[in-house]
Amino acid sequence: MKARILVVSLLFLFSVSIFADPFEDLLKSDWDKSQTLLIKNSVFQKLGQRAGSKEVLKITKNVIPWAILEGVTPEKTAELIVNLDFAVKEGLTFEEAEDAIPVVSKREISKEDFSYIGLYFKETKKAGIREEVRNRFVEAAMEKKWDGFSVLAGGRALIAGKLVDFPENRLASKILNQFPAKGRSIPFAKTETTFKAVLDSKLDGASTILLSNLKKLHEGEKVTSSQKFASARAVETSLEEVGGIVIGDRPRIEPLPDPPLVPNLPEPGEPTEPEKPAKETWETLSAPILQKVAKEWVGTPYKWANAAKTGTDCSGFTFRVLTDGRIGVPERMVSRASSAQTKMGTGVSHNEMRSGDLIFFSASPNQSKVTHVGMVLNGEEFAHASSTRGVVIDKIRMKWWLDRFVLSRRVFKKVVN
């Protein structure tokens, strides 16, 4: 009798939490029935009745574009929903936490580590660490099997280095070579010692705040409480001060011997290698040559925070095409970061796009936040690095891309066929 009551109760909870909520309406246009059921069941198993709450449903709605853009499985989609729900409960906003999605979407990661990585992105962005460096740093850290706490600690060391003018690109390499990989599970003293060592003990007052707050977060690992990251807000004033620093205003320390994390990305104020002679006529684009260059990349696998024929992400692909010798845009004019590429050239409308224009999209609920970029080949097609298919050519007017279009920028003054 008790067993029968238990079964009936479970069936009732299952029907209320899963089938009586808007999950199906949210998911049905993007996944088939079996996939939708798999996502719903997985979220329910991990969150129980909370799966039908307004908060989780909102997160689900916001995750869908990311899941499609990243090409993740239904199982991974459910995991993202659960991880983002945890991050929001810990004190991050969805928009802050979503920056962790590209680097973790193909990896197995705990919800705690996901939240630490979301906090890493929030802080390094606010402190003005260059996007190319912060993206490549976290990707390299994940390749080394770092946990989220070590990623956050490394990010704070980068920020502390900016306060005393350490070249951030080279400092990133030093941190990756010396920091402990599993900061959550070892005594904090080890992380603290390494933090000071990579900075040669040159810590600014704000750096001390970053380090002491990191210790509080580490101590918080020993207790179970919501809003664990709320204490991280204590460092936000310091981060804003760091973000306002312009490197070069003060005497620089001796350059670090470590190689740069991102090759050919000069530090502000440092001597750079002589740039290759620019193609004198680069502002006039040959459409056939652009198509030839772009198509040579088709099939290149996707690799986040990289820009090579062995693997590239979306902005790495557009960077390489634009700076290809046959196209000739000077490297100093092109960033590897999609957010910086939105500032190139002049704006054009969707209907005015032509060969050589950059086209930008967003998977974020904040539709002004660019999360993807492609290269327009002609009035009908664009090439881009897809996270599931590698570099491919798609139709500009596909509904999904139309719905996610943010802006386009014109780099070339003239196009010839």
Please determine, for residue 11, whether its predicted confidence score (pLDDT) is greater than 50.
Answer: no
Please determine, for residue 264, whether its predicted confidence score (pLDDT) is greater than 90.
Answer: no
Residue 55, both tokens: 């908060």
pLDDT at 269: 66
Per-residue pLDDT tens digits for 96-146: 999 999 999 889 999 999 999 999 999 999 999 999 999 999 999 999 999
Region 223-244 average pLDDT:
64
* Look-up of token digits 């969805």: 94
Question: From the CB of residue 325, how many other CB atoms can be counted at a distance below 10 Å?
Answer: 10
Q: Which residue has the higher pLDDT, 398 or 23?
A: 398
Domain positions in the chain: 91-242, 284-415
Distance CA 72, CA 161 (A): 36
361-365: long-range contacts (C-beta < 8 A, 24 or more apart)?
361/69, 361/401, 361/404, 361/405, 361/406, 362/65, 362/404, 362/406, 363/65, 363/66, 363/68, 363/69, 363/404, 364/62, 364/65, 364/66, 364/95, 364/98, 365/62, 365/94, 365/95
- CATH homologous superfamily for the domain 284-415: endopeptidase domain like (from Nostoc punctiforme) (3.90.1720.10)
pLDDT at 12: 40
Which of 135, 127, 131, 170 lies closest to 151 in space, CA to CA? 135
Arithmetic mean of pLDDT over the chain: 87
Q: Is 316 exposed, middle or buried (0-12, 13-18, 19+ CB in 10 A)?
A: buried
Please determine, for residue 252, whether its predicted confidence score (pLDDT) is greater than 60.
Answer: no
Please determine, for residue 7, whether its predicted confidence score (pLDDT) is greater than 60.
Answer: no
Measuring CA to CA, how many Å separate 233 from each of 89, 190, 222, 238, 242?
A: 15, 24, 20, 10, 15
For the ranges 33-47, 147-161, 311-325, 398-412, the lowest mean pLDDT is seen at: 33-47
pLDDT at 254: 61
Per-residue pLDDT tens digits for 355-385: 999 999 999 999 999 999 999 999 999 999 9
Which of 295, 298, 260 lies closest to 386 in space, CA to CA? 298
pLDDT at 17: 44
Please determine, for residue 229, whether its predicted confidence score (pLDDT) is greater than 90.
Answer: no
- The share of the chain scoring above pLDDT 70, in percent, equals 82
Which of 227, 149, 158 lies closest to 186 in space, CA to CA? 149
pLDDT at 14: 43
Q: Is 393 exposed, middle or buried (0-12, 13-18, 19+ CB in 10 A)?
A: middle
Question: From the CB of residue 54, how many other CB atoms can be counted at a distance below 10 Å?
Answer: 9
Spatial contact of 100 and 130, defined as CB atoms under 8 Å apart: no
Per-residue confidence at 226, pLDDT binned at 50, 70, 90? low
pLDDT at 9: 42
Per-residue confidence at 18, pLDDT binned at 50, 70, 90? very low
pLDDT at 13: 44
